Chains A and B, each alone.
Chain A
Amino acid sequence: MIPTEDLKKVLSIADEAMIENPDGTIRLVATECRDCGQRVFPPTEVCPECMSESIKFFELSEKGTLYSWSVVHAAPKNWITPYIAGYVDMPEGVRVFAHIVNVDPEILSFDMPVSVCKVTMGLDPDGKSIESYSFVPSMTGEN
């Protein structure tokens, strides 16, 4: 479980769904119900299965698999287009919506391994950069 004070260090739009390690790497954070075991991403304060408020945070794995994706050319202003939107299935049983970055979309394939990383996704209306998690195809040999 991640101490609450660590979660508060995160000031990106992912809020408490992401933590940054001292070495600059990041991990996604989900919640699990202590009563029924239901897992949810992003974190919730009440279990959507049994309504228990006894919830613990836990870190998701670094890697997941790419369920589907799309190169998005039309988005609200402030987003840097085109960007790749995708759904990543995590071994812990939750699906994560994410941008897929630093990759030629031509080489993406279904169910390929992808690893979490941090990225600047766009600018907010005040010109501040929007930071959050994203995924990048895992390096060959590390799968």
Chain B
Amino acid sequence: MREVGIIGAGMVPFGKYPQRTLAEIAWPAVKAALEDANVPKRDIGAAYCGTALGGMMSGQRILKTLGITGLPIVNIENACSSSSTAFREAWISVAAGIYDVVLVIGVEKLTKFGGGTLPLEKEDFEVAHGLVMPALYAMRAQRYMHEYGLTENHLAKVSVKARAHGQYNPDAQMRETTTVEAVKSSRLVADPLRLFHCCPSGDGAAAVVICAADKLAHYGGVPIRVIGSEINSGKYMTGFRDMTSPEITLRGAAQLYEESGIGPSDIDLAEVHDAFSIAELLYYEALGFCNKGEAGRMIDQEETFVGGKIPVNPSGGLLSKGHPIGATGVAQIVEVVRQLRGHCGSRQVEGAKVGMTHCTGGGISGFDHGVCSIHLFAR
């Protein structure tokens, strides 16, 4: 396997673009990534496009706007992990020596559904009976609060942190800061989760260019190295699964740490899948940033704020940055690239050398999550 580096990154501010097509939303992110990489379009060996609900031929629709056609374009659907999966597949193709330079796109336009909870697969039995994503996370939260003494204040503080970070991210959808009191008085969505505990719905796109290490000299610049890549599907469980313990993230993190030789204490920042405030807390534990039951203490002591022991979601995370689902995986990677380059201004994690992205996707019966992909990067 060859070493692989990221040489270009770009994204558009997440928000609501109902009047723009998917392609119109995405092309500026692709162009920004290519210009950042200093890669002429003829050098792109292949493109991988992750989108969950973008529809057929999303990659071709986007890339024709920039005249990047005639190359292999692969469209990938894996729920909220669509573009982290696309990145993983792109990485494999370059590491294996199939291509030297590959473009990865994540894109979604959720405004076309008119707002509300994420549309899930109606053939699923639990979805047909009224399971929605906020309810699933809310039931995790209820059980975790019961077993480990987590409070509404702990949950609220995750949202406060997200907005505190996101205020400094020009690409974030929700940039106003908030308070524990404001979070606790926002409207109920699925008890105990309130509106500010839930990531905003919207549109967006992000793109990166990756390159084989032995071809980097063609393009100049300092690459961000891919030092770990992992993907798993969830385990289907018909019995009594422990909803306080995200099994797929636990399993994936253990595998990634073993394969990469990197441990949780080596990580300077992490972009994790905080679709709801409770999720981020569960992932502190599953990713090994603290022990089981300690997530509440960790947020209380602000260990995951920028400036703390292990900053989590310096971008603002899904809670502040927004979650156009197929775009999220690559957008997380864009933030880690910017952090490791030291380009993040007031939200910069000082001296960051190793960063993680963690992206899950769920919404079907019998799984903790359907998919999870975790990556590690270093400068």
Least CB separation from B117: chain A residue: A74
Verify if A121 is at the interface (C-beta below 8 Å from B): yes
Chain B residues, CB < 8 A from A122: 130
Most central of B128, B141, B243 by chain A CB within 10 Å? B128
- C-alpha spacing A74/B130, complex, angstroms: 10
**B139 contacts across to A, CB distance below 8 A:** 67-70, 85-87
Find A13's partner among B129, B135, B240, B243 (CB 8 Å cutoff): B129
Asked whether B132 is an interface residue with its Cβ less than 8 Å from the other chain, the reply is yes
A residues near B138, Cβ cutoff 8 Å: 70, 72, 85
Q: Is A11 an interface residue when CB atoms closer than 8 A count as contact?
A: no
Residue of A nearest to B131 (CB): A97
Q: For chain A residues 5-51, which have a beta carbon within 8 Å of chain B? A: 13-14, 17, 38-42, 48
A63 in contact (CB, < 8 A): no
| A94 touching B239, Cβ below 8 Å | yes
A71 at the interface (CB under 8 A from B): yes
Contact of B239 among A71, A76, A79, A93 (CB under 8 A): A93
Chain B, range 113-149, C-beta contacts under 8 Å to A? 116-117, 119, 125-126, 128-132, 134-135, 138-143, 146
Bound-state CA distance A85–B146 (Å) is 17
A132 at the interface (CB under 8 A from B): yes
The answer to whether the Cβ of B178 comes within 8 Å of any Cβ in the partner chain is: no
| Chain A neighbourhood of B219, CB < 8 A | none
Chain-A contact segment, one of B24-32, B186-194, B256-264, B370-378: B186-194
7 sampled A-B residue pairs with Cβ under 8 A: A67-B243, A70-B138, A71-B191, A73-B187, A75-B130, A94-B239, A97-B365
Mark B residues whose CB is within 8 Å of A: 116-117, 119, 125-126, 128-132, 134-135, 138-143, 146, 187-193, 236, 238-241, 243, 365
